[in-house]
Structure 1
């Protein structure tokens, strides 16, 4: 499924401008913006400069009745564009993309939030916070939802879940998302959950910690099997050792059972750097039966959303320094970045990081066409 299919959906976007005063076609402005971001533009002036330098190429695919839009026009259009419509188009497009990929039946979908820090630079407003969904197996963004300024991720998560196709997936969320309403919403989507448990759920946390304290007291020796697993590795200059224990026989009268949990897990992380070490124990509940090795794998994969999405948006797209704020512009621009990130992730013809792939698109028109898959237009 190419960008061509996505761009065809742009024509269905609602244009809120006065048609008598509009000289630029909305779908064409969106096309130009995505292409510009793909080629390294990070702000409205960058998008305009791309369009000016690529006007000849753009005219092969677009009509451009008003010529090349100025920077404030790009800003104004993104500020007035309905973010819900744009988000739904993105989610529909990537759903079609995933249907053409060979993924396992139990893919992991990680949910986590990211603040676009630069969006707080003026007008005394807080920076926007985007809740993102990431398919760890495909390495693709599945969708996003802006967290309301007067709310938090707890209210945004169910709204994003409604939009996603999750059947057969394992949805992983940190402790903030450990809410019965969220767990129920995931199960209703015919998916399973793996939720981190902390003190914000006092009864559940107390029960889980007591169960493992008793388990460790009764099982002094650990041997690798279904109920115990361990990993060693090196991360960011730290030596790390992870140990995981699971309990699958959740009793019907327990608090965990009221969450419809079938597995509870504990992971101990021992890390050391420059001679200094620390130990951390984290607890989880899961709605399906998992072995200790499977829990370790799932919790490790959850953090790919930080390394492959959030970090890349900051380093390769300079998202944290983007000062766009007017109207819905910041939210819509965040979605546009994830459109281009997915396009670059889907292309495997160039072995390079996302930042250098963007540069290659700007330097090499043939490669840009390859990424966009517009060669047949």
Structure 2
């Protein structure tokens, strides 16, 4: 057969490089809580099967069970399932077994394994690492007896989740900030977060880890906000201006930066003012918003256009992660509430989104459909071949 016909016959698309990490190498770090007696399926095989199913678009435990039940014998073997000693056939696990396994899995250990896998899978990017920190509540996990599960995640501005932790139901995101970032190399990284994390302890922690911050200053820090707001912004030159037209509105963003000798915030070197002019193209209504920030980056470490891009890039964690989990995976509509299931399923969705982003897909829904058409595709993406 001519070579060009053989190429046409291969519709699975280009395979990732041979250096793609093997997910199972990281899943072995997730402890197996099951008693030894009566175990039929390997722990890592069950977790890998759930990951492959979610990578193919499964949004529920039932859908994961259906994907595994339809998997060919070769796929079950690659996932790590054992053959029946009498028949030699690979028997897929029941959906109930998958539910019990995922409900018992350690969410922290699973998220650490996923974060390390995604970091090894992607080649190091040139330039500074930009990491956004933000929280999300799984609304469908709320019951009469307990509050909804709340999670906080660290994600690169490119859409790769590096870490995730569950927030204590009796607290908020602030105590979870440092533990979330403990397992990530923060050397020379820039951390962006909302005003809730503009905390003195957070700034000191990031400085000790060799990282920089872009911290939003709002009225929940009245003294700091007033000092930054009263800087002579009218006399400070403009560093960056940008005009865009999207979502039925015109928007102009102006950025100014200034250095100062001292301000009552640890390791702060510059203050920033962002002015946003927005005009609704339908109603003609004009709104003006002023946002103030402080950063530990020294003057000259980043241009005005870079700072503006980093400030806007923080909201990618909303658009590229939380929005996708809600709209594409229907996370807020999910009624999964048993034990660790809400947390574990969120981690598996992070894994799927991260892999598809790394592989160059911008439309996650289309990537899920494409992956779901061939049982081999998710295994290739997870390095299980």
Normalization by structure 2: what TM-score? Answer: 0.86
> Post-superposition shift, 1:338?
1.0
Instruction: List alignment gaps of at least 5 residues for structure 2.
Output: 1-17, 85-90
| Corresponding residue number in structure 1 for 2:327 | 315
**1:296 aligns to 2:308 (yes or no):** yes
Equivalent position to 1:355, from 348, 355, 365: 365
CA distance in 2 between counterparts of 1:123 and 1:72 reads 24
**Within 5 A, what are the aligned runs for 1:1-16?**
4-16=21-33
| Corresponding residue number in structure 2 for 1:287 | 296
**Cα 1:235/1:182, change in 2 over 3 Å:** farther
**1:166 aligns to 2:186 (yes or no):** yes
CA distance in 1 between counterparts of 2:164 and 2:97 reads 25
CA contact under 8 A between 1:51 and 1:58: conserved in structure 2? Answer: no
Equivalent position to 1:131, from 126, 149, 152: 152
CA contact under 8 A between 2:163 and 2:181: conserved in structure 1? Answer: no
**1:326 aligns to 2:346 (yes or no):** no
CA contact under 8 A between 1:167 and 1:190: conserved in structure 2? Answer: yes
**1:246 aligns to 2:257 (yes or no):** yes
CA distance in 1 between counterparts of 2:109 and 2:348 reads 13
> Post-superposition shift, 1:260?
1.1
Q: Which runs of 4+ in 1 moved over 6 A?
A: none
**Within 5 A, what are the aligned runs for 1:108-257?**
108-120=130-142, 122-136=143-157, 138-211=158-231, 214-216=232-234, 218=235, 224=238, 228-248=239-259, 250-252=260-262, 254-256=263-265
Instruction: List alignment gaps of at least 5 residues for structure 1.
Output: none
Give the 3-state SS of the residue equivalent to 2:146 in structure 1. coil
**Within 5 A, what are the aligned runs for 1:12-91?**
12-61=29-78, 62-64=80-82, 67-91=91-115
Structure 1 vs Structure 2 CA RMSD: 2.0
**1:96 aligns to 2:88 (yes or no):** no
CA distance in 1 between counterparts of 2:294 and 2:353 reads 32
CA distance in 1 between counterparts of 2:71 and 2:83 reads 16
Deviates more, 1:364-373 or 1:321-330: 364-373
| Corresponding residue number in structure 1 for 2:88 | none
Give the 3-state SS of the residue equivalent to 2:313 in structure 1. helix
Structure number with the higher helix fraction is 1
CA contact under 8 A between 2:29 and 2:113: conserved in structure 1? Answer: no
Deviates more, 1:271-280 or 1:17-26: 17-26
CA contact under 8 A between 2:54 and 2:349: conserved in structure 1? Answer: yes
CA distance in 2 between counterparts of 1:237 and 1:113 reads 28
Normalization by structure 1: what TM-score? Answer: 0.88
Q: How many residues were matched structurally? A: 356
**Cα 1:160/1:318, change in 2 over 3 Å:** same
CA distance in 2 between counterparts of 1:139 and 1:323 reads 26
**Cα 1:287/1:352, change in 2 over 3 Å:** closer
